[in-house]
A and B are shown apart, each in its own frame.
Chain A
Amino acid sequence: MPTLLVLLAGAVIVAAGIVTVTRRNPIHAALSMLVALGGVALLMLALHSTFLAAMQVLLYGGAIMVLFTFVIMLLTLREDEMGPEPPARTKTVAGAGAFFVLAIVWWAIATRDHHDFQAPALGGAFGSPEHFARFLYTDYVVSFELVTVLVMAAVAGVIVLGRRADRESLEGTRLTQAPAHKDPHAAPAGRDEVQP
């Protein structure tokens, strides 16, 4: 029964993943990614990781996907802003590359020996928040603390990158002699070339 669930979840993830990378409409891509993320949650359930599955749905399916759709909505990309369709040759090469990687990984997985692997013991508490927290605050406490530095770096980075180029501060005090440069807060270079 769990094997069936794993196979089902795997099929859903792969199908949704392919749709995600092949759709040109960003909303379609984002929605199929949501399906893929749901499939991953299902996979975690099948592996007895109930807490992780709940987090997957809450964080990825909830928070991150909402962020995705908001960004897409705010950008309101027009067809001509999405850049030209990549040539067929590029697609063929990329597809062949992906298939090549898949084949090697498949071979590596197919030749593996189940007796080599020491699976973690499945107990009553396995996958529960307590089990998860115990690892987080004991064995992996360094990583856990390091993530706080990571988040601080991300916050400081957002403040730096969100600062407007021609303003003194975020409060918006305009300088008397604003530089004559074009406004880069409109963004990454390249966009300027698209717009007339």
Chain B
Amino acid sequence: MEPMTELPFTGREAARAVPIALPALFGLVALCLDLFLPRGRSKGPLAITAAAGALITALVTLALWRGGGETLVIAETLSASSFAAALSITILLAAGLIAFAGVHHGQDAPAVATQAHGEFYALLLFATSGMLALVAANDLVTMFVAVETLSIAVYAMTGMDRRRARSAEGAMKYFVLGAFSSGFLLYGMSLLYGATGTMDLTRIAALPLADGRNANLAAMGGMLIMVGLLFKVGAVPYHSWAPDAYEGAPAAVTGFMSVGVKVAAFGAVLKVVTSLGEAKVFGAGPAWALWLVAALTMIVGNAGALTQRNPRRLLAYSAVAHTGYVLIGVLAVARAFDPNHPLAGAGMLDVARDATSGVIFYLLGYGVANLAAFAVLCHLERKGEDVDDLGDLAGLSKKQPGAALVMTLAMVSLAGVPATAGFLGKFWVFRAGIAAGDLGLVILALATSALSLYYYLQVVVAMYMREPGEALYAGEPAPAAPRSLDPEPRRWGSRLAYVVGGVLIVLLGIYPGERLLTLVVQGAQALLS
């Protein structure tokens, strides 16, 4: 008999992977707990389990991933660093809030099939596991498996609403296009492996590829990996799935997908950009492509949102637009590795760090605002039917002032008005963009942000300046059967979610707190050390 193979890692290292396992564990607990809940009754206990799981995972993540010491663990497949910890906070916040927001889904619907199922919580937490693995992944295999784990859970959640054909349509489009983009991701990974002979991103970063001629092959692989990841964040031209998937999925799922998937995928994007940048593979060419994608994403996202009447479609295009703003920060990071950049030098590393901090904070601010908006939409769901028209929000301020206020805060924050989380994030990212020499792109971002006020304020106009049952625009016939906007006393979960969201928008905008900012800055330093 052969001797036992020596494990390439210690137990202490393995413990660093616990934050990835925890959500999955709570998902299994939720699945088992569901067996004991009486059929057709509230899924409150499951929501509490899921939210507790997210909270515990957040605490464990902060404890295990934030500290100093060696961050590359388990044969360098994971980078359990502050960078992963900082992004995990937003992901876990999304999981926790959406667990509460989605608990009433279909509560008053005639068909039990529309109601929230126990599987929703399991899928939510399995996806969270995949997302945490993605932000911590340090090699291509782990990255791919993480992407697939979160994607498959989210595809299924998108099609969860079996009564509506739209849900199936959205899930189908998301799945087919997602599988297609996974092909790009995998192809890129295999080319990158062919060029470098390793799957380890740290080792790839340390290779002297710029001197050898394999840089072409590695750059090709890196570009294809970026295509696969940009699909997940919904960047133009890979955004076409977003409006249909966002509209088809129930509001709670849309909220989770618009935040969790995006944050996790941006984590991977930053990781790939820095690794290939340090290997001197990503030079001026990829930066130019990224510039074009960022510009197109901002234009198409904002232009598309202008004409939307469905709040979920509107937020889908808004999510695309925000991807464009975040890409300014990613581009600034990529610029730091361009040796021919006019500002090349030691100063560019600081710019890249600043840009990374900005991206991390931006994603948190965007996430909080989006989660608050979707929590309000979940709160307004009636008989399993989501709000499908902005006109249905008419007079919300009269019926439910609290929900209307949080929705307003969310819209204002997404537009980037000062004293909200969205403003600080935009300011941070745009400042880094200017420092990296992309003034034109930042001007475009400011112009499109101004444009975005139109569609965000349209929501506010409907809620505050229209009477209940009134048409949204003059000359439009009033809805024959206006939706009921009366407060539902039993909706404690979605109320809790939107209140927390609203408080966080203001808190992050006015005083984010020393400890959070330290975490964000440490995260950037961990990525670009």
Contacts and interface: CB of A to CB of B under 8 A. Distances in A.
Nearest to A150: B149
B146 A146 contact: yes
Interface string B137-176: 0000110011011001101110110111111110110000
Nearest to B144: A143
Given A161-B159, A179-B163, A149 B130 contact: yes
Interface in B115-130: 117, 119-120, 122-123, 126-127, 129-130
Nearest to A147: B145
A160 B159 contact: yes
B7 A160 contact: no
B197 A163 contact: no
A139 B163 CA distance: 45
Contact of B169 (A145, A156, A164, A190): A190
A169 to B, nearest CB: 7
Majority secondary structure, B binding face: helix
Interface in B203-223: 209, 212-214, 216-217, 219-220
B77 A154 contact: no
A96 B194 CA distance: 25
Interface in B240-272: none
Contacts of A159: 119
A160 B130 contact: no
Nearest to B74: A142
Given A140-B141, A189-B166, A117 B214 contact: yes
B58 interface: no
A153 B216 contact: no
A119 interface: yes
Contacts of A156: 31, 119, 122-123, 126, 153, 156
A134 interface: yes
A130 B198 CA distance: 20
B8 interface: yes
Interface stretch (A11-19, A82-90, A180-188): A180-188
A146 to B, nearest CB: 5
A109 B165 contact: no
B216 to A, nearest CB: 5
B145 A143 contact: yes
A188 B168 contact: yes
B5 A152 contact: no
A43 to B, nearest CB: 12
B160 A160 contact: yes
B19 to A, nearest CB: 12
A157 interface: yes
Contact of A116 (B31, B130, B214): B214
Given A157-B157, A160-B159, 8 more contacts: A116-B213, A138-B5, A149-B149, A153-B152, A157-B153, A167-B113, A189-B166, A192-B165
